A and B are shown apart, each in its own frame.
Chain A
Amino acid sequence: DIQMTQSPSSLSASVGDRVTITCRASQSISSYLNWYQQKPGKAPKLLIYAASSLQSGVPSRFSGSGSGTDFTLTISSLQPEDFATYYCQQSYSTPMYSFGQGTKLEIK
């Protein structure tokens, strides 16, 4: 099984900050990596697919990069609505998908 490890597990930041969240796969997954945002009591929302492709309707302050085992999600300028938990998910080992444990982004 492919294990996905996110860091940090939690992060405090201020509105306007640039934030980076990291996701590491236990083996190479090429660019088969998706990012989701989840707000409390809500379903996850797709932000980024195929490591760096922005889902339609998602603000351009979100970006993804990486390939192989190391990936990053970057928010260029935090907005109040961005405080949420973020998950990475590998789609390399179809259909045995796995998610990272999540990174909770909190207001400083």
Chain B
Amino acid sequence: QVQLQESGPGLVKPSQTLSLTCTVSGGSISSGSYYWSWIRQPAGKGLEWIGRIYTSGSTNYNPSLKSRVTISVDTSKNQFSLKLSSVTAADTAVYYCARERFGEFYNWFDPWGQGTLVTVSS
């Protein structure tokens, strides 16, 4: 059973770059019809899709964040990563990594990592 686990600093200073890694266990990140996504949730608020990567390295980003986001993959380590630059307090959130299953027609997120809280503060 595939499991995902986020890791990275819990505190980032304003204007700096947020960096998180998601480690995939229980299966290869390169197998199957999957994208690998990042999603965030500010405290008490809803979910916002950040972006995704395929193991080929192909990426898609939320247009609202595109200028600041980079998602990369390291298949040798079974990991993918998120970098968000020029952060502000508005980027404070719980960040989740998730596997996106895509089929002939339908896509969905399953499973998700447990999430990691990133606070932007000086």
Contact = CB atoms under 8 A, between A and B. Distances in A.
Interface of A: 31-32, 34, 36, 42-46, 49-50, 55, 87, 89, 91, 94-102
Main secondary structure of the interface of A (DSSP, over half): loop
Interface of B: 35, 46-49, 52, 60, 62-63, 96, 98, 102, 105-115
A101 B46 contact: yes
A46 B113 contact: no
Nearest to B112: A43
B46 A97 contact: no
A46 B109 contact: yes
A34 B52 contact: no
B108 A46 contact: yes
12 contacts: A42-B114, A42-B115, A43-B96, A43-B98, A43-B114, A44-B112, A46-B109, A46-B110, A50-B105, A94-B102, A99-B47, A99-B48
A6 to B, nearest CB: 9
Contact of B46 (A31, A42, A50, A99): A99
Contact of B49 (A43, A55, A98): A98
Given A44-B112, A99-B47, A94 B107 contact: yes
